[in-house]
Amino acid sequence: MENGFLLEQKTLEGDLNSDTSHKSSVDFLMNWFRKRSIFVLAYGTGCGAIEMPPTFTSRYDAERLGIRGAATPRQADVIIVSGYCSYKTLRRIIRTYEQMSNPKYILALGSCTVNGGMYWDSYNTIKKLEDYLPVDMYVNGCMPRPESILEGFIALQKEIGEGKASSWQKYEENYEFYRKNQEAVLGEKVEPSYAADWYLYDGGL
């Protein structure tokens, strides 16, 4: 009988290997590769970023599921929007997301990304992330513990394995809808100035 770590691993991965809905063996193989090597952009956007280090380090060790960090947006598959998302942050998230290469997924943490959370009446925090960017998986909680984040990842992996997670296609198809919503809160100029511009020329510190 398994117990401890092995039992946890088995419970987590339980139905991950049992997906049968693939169209062909090539599809199956592609999806299997994708779901088992998820590179997560090392980018924290809110208070929820504090739960990410324990998720990826020895205690919860996400790498046993094939989930690990990536240094730059161009190498990453998943961006975690961890917590409340102010207008200023949203600009940076949009730029980062558009820099990532396909296939790309968004995992949104915390109640703030779901409905505003405790910032529901704040003048510079958006309330529904999916109006501005396509979200694959919400993990609720304030803040979600690393266990919940891992479960969110497993659910995302399952969707990827079945070929259902296709938010980046949704973003390309409905780009006008997203762009309209982005412009409604951020103004005409959605993309931020580069940090160097801001620091050296745009008034600076």
Partner 1 sequence: MGMMMFQKIKSHFATDDVEVKRNDLYKVGIRRDRLVELIHMLRDEYGFKTLNAITCTDWIEEGHFALTYMFTTLDRKHTFMIQTMVNRENTQIKTFSHEFKQAQIMERDLHEMYGINFIGNENLKELSLENWVHTPPLRREFDTLEFVNNNLTFREGRDDNVDTKAESKRLRVLKKAKKDADKKEAAKKAKEEAEAQKSKEEEVKDGE
| Binding interface with partner 1 (CB under 8 A) | 87-88, 91, 114-116, 120-124, 126-128, 131, 184-187, 189, 192, 202-205
The one-letter amino acid code at 88 reads K
Please, what is the minimum distance in Å from the beta carbon of residue 127 to partner 1?
Answer: 5
Identify which of 127, 88, 123, 124 has the alpha carbon closest to the alpha carbon of residue 108: 127
Please, what is the minimum distance in Å from the beta carbon of residue 142 to partner 1?
Answer: 14
**Which residue's CB is nearer to partner 1, number 26 or number 205?**
205
Q: How far apart are CA 150 and CA 204, in angstroms?
A: 39
Please, what is the minimum distance in Å from the beta carbon of residue 92 to partner 1?
Answer: 11
Calculate the alpha carbon distances from 195 to 46, 98, 141, 172, 186 in Å: 19, 17, 32, 27, 18
Please, what is the minimum distance in Å from the beta carbon of residue 18 to partner 1?
Answer: 33
The tokens 């394995």 sit on which residue? 161
**Which residue's CB is nearer to partner 1, number 9 or number 181?**
181
Q: Is 177 helix (H, G, I), strand (E, B) or coil?
A: helix
**Which residue's CB is nearer to partner 1, number 40 or number 81?**
81
Q: How far apart are CA 168 and CA 25, in angstroms?
A: 23
**Which residue's CB is nearer to partner 1, number 30 or number 142?**
142
